[in-house]
């Protein structure tokens, strides 16, 4: 799905009628006409007297920026009209795409490859930013270079009171210091802001076995999920050819059941950060 279609999705998410879509468009146009150099989520939410949450406003504006509707020169009215028209059709008919293929194509490759599909990093960040209650991230590798893409939306979620669970490898063992630094960063932010962060590593407790996690999956609010090939690393989110799917249909319940069953695994170990060192508890 294109980035323009992502805007359609967010407009549908915050609308119960075509009038609601028109109201969002009118609010954007009013804020621009008022001379605001930059429309903020707080200003947009205030226009609706908090009926539109700051989280929804933030996700909507972010998607509009990525789709070049909100630019440094102002609103692109033509692209806004296209997105709002499609959103009104979806709201009126009750039909919308449930699952979206997302991709990352290396910058040096043909720019037309995957152009009709959504950006993997943009859609994954939007998925995390949409969380209201809980986020579960299963991922084997993290790097410090991915901090800007992933840590900030996770930290913002913790600040909103969202419970975040990370399941990975190489916290109490191994030589992957990048992953440990990534998790330390999230943990230190959590200590400053509050919020509930649960850490786990998945590894066979038998020393002679190397069975461990290689899953790349994120589940949000037990209703939406991402499953794909990309690690949450700079290479996975920027340099490599990667593909994934954002799920919103009944498939998500199967992922949720799997995640619930995983909590009973003897390979799953709860981990805490104590005095800057990771220990199993």
pLDDT tens-digit series, residues 181-230? 889 888 887 766 667 999 999 998 886 567 899 999 999 999 999 999 99
54 pLDDT tier (thresholds 50, 70, 90):
confident
Note the pLDDT of residue 1. 43
> Does 137 lie in the same domain as 75?
no
- Choosing from 55, 71, 93, the residue where a domain stops is 93
Note the pLDDT of residue 36. 64
Q: What is the pTM of this model?
A: 0.72
Q: What percent of the chain lies above the pLDDT cut of 70?
A: 94
- Choosing from 93, 117, 143, the residue where a domain stops is 93
Print burial letters for 59-96: b (CB count within 10 Å at least 16), e (below 16): bbbbbbbbbebbeeeebbeebbebbbebbbebbeeeeb
Note the pLDDT of residue 233. 87
Note the pLDDT of residue 25. 92
Region class of 215: left (phi > 0), else alpha (psi between -120 and 50), else beta: beta
254 pLDDT tier (thresholds 50, 70, 90):
very high
> Does 57 lie in the same domain as 143?
no
Q: What percent of the chain lies above the pLDDT cut of 90?
A: 33
> Does 260 lie in the same domain as 215?
yes
Domain of residue 115, residue span:
100-280
> Does 236 lie in the same domain as 153?
yes
> Does 121 lie in the same domain as 77?
no
CATH code at position 152 = 3.30.870.10
pLDDT at 49 over 80: no
2 pLDDT tier (thresholds 50, 70, 90):
low
Note the pLDDT of residue 96. 63
> Does 48 lie in the same domain as 129?
no
β-strand 100-104 against 74-75: which pairing, if any? unpaired
Who has greater pLDDT, 185 or 36?
185
> Does 178 lie in the same domain as 40?
no
């Amino acid at each position: 799905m294109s980035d323009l279609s992502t805007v359609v999705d967010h407009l549908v998410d915050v609308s119960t009628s075509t009038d609601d879509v028109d109201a969002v468009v009118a609010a954007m146009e009013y804020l621009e006409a008022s001379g605001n150099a930059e429309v903020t989520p707080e200003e947009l939410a205030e226009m609706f007297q908090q009926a539109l949450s700051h989280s929804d406003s933030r996700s909507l504006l972010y998607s509009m920026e990525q789709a070049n509707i909100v630019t440094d020169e102002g609103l692109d009215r033509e692209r806004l009209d296209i997105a709002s028209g499609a959103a009104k059709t979806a709201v009126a008919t009750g039909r919308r795409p449930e699952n979206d293929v997302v991709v990352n194509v290396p910058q040096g490759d043909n720019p037309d490859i995957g152009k009709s599909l959504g950006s993997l990093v943009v859609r994954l960040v939007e998925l995390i930013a949409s969380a209201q209650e809980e986020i579960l991230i299963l991922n084997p590798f993290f790097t410090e270079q991915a901090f800007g893409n992933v840590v900030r939306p996770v930290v913002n979620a913790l600040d909103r009171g969202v419970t975040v669970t990370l399941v990975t490898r190489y916290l109490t063992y191994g030589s992957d210091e990048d992953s440990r630094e990534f998790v330390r960063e999230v943990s230190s932010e959590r200590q400053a802001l509050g919020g509930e962060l649960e850490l786990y590593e998945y590894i066979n407790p038998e020393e002679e076995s190397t069975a461990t996690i290689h899953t790349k999956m994120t589940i949000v609010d037990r209703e939406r999920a991402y499953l794909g090939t990309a690690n949450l690393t700079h290479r996975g989110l920027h340099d490599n050819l990667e593909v994934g799917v954002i799920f919103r249909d009944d498939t998500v319940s199967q992922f949720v059941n799997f995640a619930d069953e995983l909590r009973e695994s003897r390979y799953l170990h709860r981990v805490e950060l104590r005095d800057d060192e990771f220990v199993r508890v």
